[in-house]
A and B are shown apart, each in its own frame.
Chain A
Amino acid sequence: MATATAANSNRRIAMLKVLNPFHIWALGVGIVLVGEFMGWNFTVGKGGAYASLIACWVIGLLYTCVAMIDSEVTSTVAAAGGQYTQAKHIIGPLMAFNVGLYLVMAYTMLCAADAWVVGYLMQTGAAVMGFADLDTRPFAILTVAFLAWLNYRGVFMTLTINLVITFLAFMALVVLFFAVDPFSQGVVLQHQGLLTDLPYGWIGVIASLQFGMWYYLGIEGTCQAAEEVRSAGRAIPLGTLGGMLTLLVAATITWFVASGLMPWQYLGQAVTPMYDAATLLGSSKLQLMLFVATAFAAIASANGCINDASRAWFSLARDRYIPVFFGAIHPSYRTPYRAIIFLVPIAISFAVTPLLDQVITFSILSGLLGYTFMTFNMLKFRKMWPLGSIHRGYIHPFHPLPAITLLVLCIATYFATFLGYGATLLSIMAFYIMASIWFVLQRYQFVKRADQFTMPWPRPKGY
């Protein structure tokens, strides 16, 4: 047999430790940056331009808490699966199974949305060149298939490509920022004439929190690479917190430029707002740059999502939470290749579906459930292994303030999701409840109990 199944092989093939902090930055920012090019602007539609800015900073605070908590736990629990592996060691198998599913669903759905975006961009570009009604589906399918192949062949090349295209996409936003003459109001930017009061009042601000997550959704995916970095204790905190700073800058730039160029009603429903911003400036070079940058951002995001979803799926299989068949590592490329291949048709099937808004909501809500878990996880982690009892790669300050803040902001975002997609929220909760029942009644019998705790730590306090 040419391959090895990690779960039942005595000679485990490990993934390669080849990544550095820049790759971690590229993985985190790469997944998210597409949200600065499109998607974030739905916050404007939900509550107006100022609501969007408030959402940008409030959700920015939520993700700063996520990054702080994640950096501490991941630099201590350095294994593929990220939050899933954390849950396994700190909360228990059922929570771990759910967290693994959150990760797989959040990233697979996000990958599907990214692939759809690439298809839409190709259709838009073709229309500009006189070829109307181009079918978007072949582009979406090709995007997922090509990126899956890249992921199959090795993590170093995959994330090096992400580093390059993510950096170029980010620089396009910086160029756009300077192109609008940002320090001279009324010349290009028209904030005085375009900004209005809150059109829905404060309820609109809360509603905008749901799509506010689009500014940063996926940054926590950095810890999926914990088993493949040379130094987890250094690379994960550096890459994650550096990525958060980059995203805060990018989010502020996008809001500032777009809200100074477009009426909020238009901005709130635009599919490609940054491309529209370049179009308004009347420069074909800027237009082309933003077209390419949006495509790069979408591809980088889909690429990172395949990387993260496959690691989470692989980790679930390695621990027998799902069929062990998926817990194999390629003997040459050292990638979780069966998990990568399995998720391809799923991502494609959602990329060509008419259910895009629900696919996005599935992704957002799965992410939100994961952030809620992090609050319990952090509180229990410090209680079960107090500072000094085990080696931590990084210790986040002000504990338990970040965990409590995160929980409060998660509750507000659940309410925002209820306001916009109440039935979808319930049906997605039904999915996780059904999956949990299946796990307890059927799947847990295949799990080796003692194998769920692999860290060289002392017995946790209270157990």
Chain B
Amino acid sequence: MSKNYTPPNQSLFGQIFDSILILALVYASLMLPLLMKEDAKAEEPTVAAEVVVNTWESLGQNEVMQAQWVKLGHNPDSAAAIINNRFDYTIDPMMLLITILVVVGYFVVMLKVSDKQYREVIAEKFDN
């Protein structure tokens, strides 16, 4: 039978430091894409070629759609800004591969480390 692990007591300063560290990580992870400016580029809808004169027909809107646009307070010009916004779903294979490796690697490593820690927990709980 081995002795149970006794953890050290954490100082108040240590507690405050740990709390701030987690907060800093959250803010950093939210700011990172902005700094990289990649998301802005990825989400930037590709605007169609310049349209000189917008009409409901040129925007591909049938009579029912036109009526609803008008009820919503739009004319062909204001609607064109919305209708011509298109998402770009082009896939970058390298980015996709990196993302797969990161997500799968994260779970694999976590499950392995967790299993090792779990064995310690079970050993203390049931052996001692």
Contacts and interface: CB of A to CB of B under 8 A. Distances in A.
Contact of B39 (A261, A320, A424, A444): A424
Q: Which of A94, A269, A436 gathers most chain B CB within 10 Å?
A: A94
Contacts of A207: 87, 89
B54 interface: no
A203 B89 contact: yes
Contact of A429 (B89, B92, B102): B102
Contacts of B49: none
B23 A346 contact: yes
A288 interface: no
A421 B42 contact: yes
Given A422-B38, A423-B42, A433 B10 contact: no
Given A322-B19, A447-B7, A95 B110 contact: yes
B103 A429 contact: yes
Contacts of B43: 357, 420-421
B118 A92 contact: yes
Contacts of B74: 266
Contacts of A91: 111, 114-115, 118
Interface in B12-28: 14-16, 18-19, 21-23, 25-26, 28
A322 B22 contact: yes
A263 B39 contact: no
Chain A interface residue bracket vs B: 35 or more
Nearest to A452: B121
Interface string B25-69: 110111111101011001100000000000000000111110011
A453 B125 contact: yes
Main SS class of interface, A: helix
A358 B33 contact: yes
B4 A98 contact: no
Interface of A: 45-46, 91-96, 98, 105, 190, 192-194, 200, 203-204, 207, 261-263, 265-266, 269, 276, 279-280, 320, 322-325, 342, 346, 350, 353, 355, 357-359, 362, 372, 376, 414, 418-436, 438, 440, 442-450, 452-453, 459-460, 463
Given A419-B91, A448-B5, A453-B125, 15 more contacts: A46-B87, A91-B118, A194-B64, A203-B89, A204-B87, A358-B30, A418-B96, A422-B95, A427-B36, A429-B102, A434-B25, A436-B113, A438-B22, A448-B6, A463-B122
Given A421-B43, A423-B33, A372 B65 contact: no
A459 B95 CA distance: 43
A323 B15 contact: yes
Nearest to B37: A423
